[in-house]
Amino acid sequence: MSQGLCTSCGYIGETKTITKGSIDTEIILWFCFLIPGVIYSIWRYRSQHEVCSVCDQATIISANSPEAQKIIRERENRAKEVVAPVPDFRPPSKIAIGTGRVVGRLVGRFFK
C-alpha cells in the first residue's frame, strides 16, 4: 500500500489494491485446464490497480507528486479563508429551563 491523494473525495492516505476477477475461477481453471489457468492468472495479476480506501474510486495520484502538493496547498488556503468564528457558549434561558422541567415531569408521568 502507498500514500495517495484521491481526486474524487479528497482523501489523503493509504490506498488499497483491487484485483479483477475471481480467485475461485482461477483455482478451477488451474485444476481443470493448465493453459487457461496460466492465462487467467496473468490477466488477474496485470489488472491490479490502486483505489481509494474511502470511496473505492481509481482516481488516485501519488501524494508526493507536484499536482497533489498543489491540491493540498489550495485546500489548506481555502480552509484558512473559510474559518468562521466560534460563537461563545450561552447557557439556556430561564424559560427554556422551566419548559424542560414541565416537559420532563409530563413525560415522567406518562411512562410511570
Q: How confident is the model at residue 76 (pLDDT cuts 50, 70, 90)?
A: confident
Give SS3 for 69: helix
d(CA 23, CA 7): 30
Domain count for the chain, please give it. 1
> Does a structural domain hold residue 95?
no
CA-wise closest residue to 61 among 69, 76, 73, 47: 69
> Does a structural domain hold residue 70?
yes
pLDDT digits (tens, 9 = 90+) for 21-48: 888 998 998 888 888 888 999 999 998 9
Q: Which three cell numbers stand for residue 18?
A: 483491487
Report if pTM > 0.75: no
> Does a structural domain hold residue 108?
no
**Domain region containing 42:** 3-83
